[in-house]
Amino acid sequence: MKKALSLVLAFAMALSLVACGGSDSSSAAAGGSSAAASGSGAAASGEQPVAGVCWYNFGDTFIANARNTLNEAAAADGTIKVIDADSQNDVATQTSNMNNFYTQGVDYLVLNNINNNAIAEIIERGKEEDVTLIFANTNSPTDEEFAMYDKVYHVSSVATQSGTIMGEALVKYWNEHPEMDRNGNGKLDYIMLLGIQGHYDTEVRSSYSLQALADAGIETECVQETICNYQRADAQNQVASILQARKDDVDAVIACNDDMALGAIEALKAAGFFADEDSYIPVVGVDATANGVEAIKDGTLLCTALNNPVILGNSVYKLMTLLNEGKELTQENLGMDGVTVEGHHININYIGITADNVEDAAY
């Protein structure tokens, strides 16, 4: 707990705070179960350091898994109290949730940031509040932004790897299956399904997947690129409408996550694909969610890239406990497999998953 003033403010806030999410007792920044609202005032109790976590969307499959892991790590260890809030994919809600956490006097602010135009401002505010800022599963601050404040960290998967994994899977399929060129134009015609606009994962996954195809000398053509905010239903609707107009021109679907890939597969099935061997069409995704892995097993999803939410949640928690003990972030101190520590970055590696190694998708 940082500031005595926060105690008073947090109590005052308790009467009015309804904006944030929070679905269990350890994640209670809002609603009826709010730490502030319940008057337990963990952030203000002085007993335990408190981390406020702003997730961009509790309903997102990957985020739900990471959130669960982080909350479970906190509950099992008990050193740092974790409270969290749902930004509901809305910048204003994120800002209001952050303000609530500052008011509660949190020691750590973990931000699955969607306000990518305001990273410098966010850091400035964190510095004023003397709160450790951990950007999680989101765009990294630039070197200049890191230089603004020494208590800034970034924990995220190495998005470039996931793009390359998707692209290379398509290269392999294209080379082994000349019939993949459905309209015979000599080009790999693709639909690109993007997540949140401007989100690093979306930008890098789309560009690196195409780069892998270009590097293999495969000419590509974009049938349509469309933003589906990482959401399955959006992808299903949008692919259905693209297929109505251009069904015969599509050779593959590149989806920046599994949920969108699964939505695309539903739309493709409805349009007559995946009925038999001859109507197969490659779809690639990222995350290796439980449903994504099922789709690999049932032969619809060609490839995914394991984005490990357990490593993400545990890395964030371990980082906070290290800092709490006054230790430095180093590879050795963090002691996590599958990650690389570089300065204030924790970079999580992906693993490519196909039908050949589906067992590696376990986490």
| Residues in touch with ligand GAL (CB under 6 A) | 56, 60, 62-63, 112, 137, 195, 201, 230, 257, 286-287, 307
Residues 6+ apart with CB under 8 A from 197: 227
Residues 6+ apart with CB under 8 A from 147: none
Question: By C-beta, is 56 or 190 nearer to ligand GAL?
Answer: 56
| Contact assessment for residue 289 and residue 317, using Cβ atoms and an 8 Å cutoff | no
CB of 334 to ligand GAL, least distance (A): 20
Q: What is the DSSP letter of 251?
A: -
CB of 293 to ligand GAL, least distance (A): 14
CB of 288 to ligand GAL, least distance (A): 10
- The whole-angstrom separation of Cα 198 and Cα 50 is 30
Question: By C-beta, is 87 or 100 nearer to ligand GAL?
Answer: 87
Residues 6+ apart with CB under 8 A from 159: 200, 201, 204, 205, 208
CB of 5 to ligand GAL, least distance (A): 33
| 3-state SS class at 217 | coil
The number of residues in the chain equals 363
Helix then strand then coil, % of the chain, to nearest 5: 50, 20, 35
Question: By C-beta, is 135 or 174 nearer to ligand GAL?
Answer: 135
Question: By C-beta, is 62 or 146 nearer to ligand GAL?
Answer: 62
CB of 332 to ligand GAL, least distance (A): 26
Question: By C-beta, is 6 or 113 nearer to ligand GAL?
Answer: 113
First to last CA, the chain: 33
CB of 285 to ligand GAL, least distance (A): 9
Question: By C-beta, is 153 or 273 nearer to ligand GAL?
Answer: 153
| Contact assessment for residue 193 and residue 222, using Cβ atoms and an 8 Å cutoff | no
- The whole-angstrom separation of Cα 62 and Cα 172 is 27
- The whole-angstrom separation of Cα 245 and Cα 362 is 39
CB of 134 to ligand GAL, least distance (A): 14
Neighbour tally for 360: CB within 10 Å = 13
Question: By C-beta, is 72 or 203 nearer to ligand GAL?
Answer: 203
